[in-house]
């Protein structure tokens, strides 16, 4: 088999892999919100339970749960991903950076990864498997 042909076939799948990245990352991300707000799938708040909805942790949980759900289905992907990228940057510097330089040691590695994944998604878009892409196809076809 020709190496160029294999590379071309693999590269042609990039848009679908973008959708897979968005879906898997959003599924993981919204769990941070569901644990904060509902202790689902488990309580991870120190002492168990949930955070007060109008606390800083509660607002973060709402953004993670609702924003994660929007990104999971690919609805309003670019602005939501951009907002959540900023939230993760703030979360890292507010909640983790004071614990030392290394994210793996200060507990901030998930915030850093999510920050840059969401920043990438905000620029790259949702991929073809999304409500945004479906809406665009319908618009291009002249369907209201």
Please tell me whether residue 124 adopts helix, strand or coil conformation. Answer: helix
Instruction: Write the CB contacts of 73 (distance below 8 Å, at least 6 apart in sequence).
Output: 130, 131
Taking the C-alpha atoms of residue 57 and residue 24, their distance in angstroms, rounded to an integer, is 23
Mean pLDDT for 17-28 is 98
Taking the C-alpha atoms of residue 25 and residue 108, their distance in angstroms, rounded to an integer, is 16
Q: What is the pTM of this model?
A: 0.92
Supply the angle between the helices 77-95 and 56-73 in degrees, to the nearest 10.
150
Q: Per-residue pLDDT tens for 63-108?
A: 999 999 999 999 999 999 999 999 999 999 999 999 999 999 999 9
Range of the structural domain that residue 58 is part of: 3-140
Domain count, the chain: 1
Going 13 to 16 to 83 to 57, the CA torsion angle's sign is negative
pLDDT for residue 1: 56
- Residue 47 pLDDT > 90: no
Count CB neighbours of 64 within 10 A.
25
């Amino acid at each position: 088999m020709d190496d160029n042909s294999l590379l071309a076939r693999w590269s042609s799948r990039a848009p679908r892999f973008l959708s897979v990245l968005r879906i898997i990352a959003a599924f993981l991300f919204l769990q941070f919100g569901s644990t904060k707000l509902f202790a689902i799938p488990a309580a991870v708040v120190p002492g168990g339970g949930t955070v007060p909805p109008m606390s800083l942790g509660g607002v973060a949980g709402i953004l993670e749960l609702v924003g994660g759900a929007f990104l999971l289905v690919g609805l309003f992907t670019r602005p939501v991903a951009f907002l959540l990228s900023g939230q993760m940057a703030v979360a890292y510097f507010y909640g983790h950076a004071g614990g030392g330089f290394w994210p793996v040691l200060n507990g901030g590695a998930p915030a850093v990864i999510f920050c840059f994944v969401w920043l990438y998604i905000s620029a790259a878009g949702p991929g073809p498997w999304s409500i945004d892409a479906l809406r665009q196809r319908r618009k291009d076809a002249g369907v209201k």
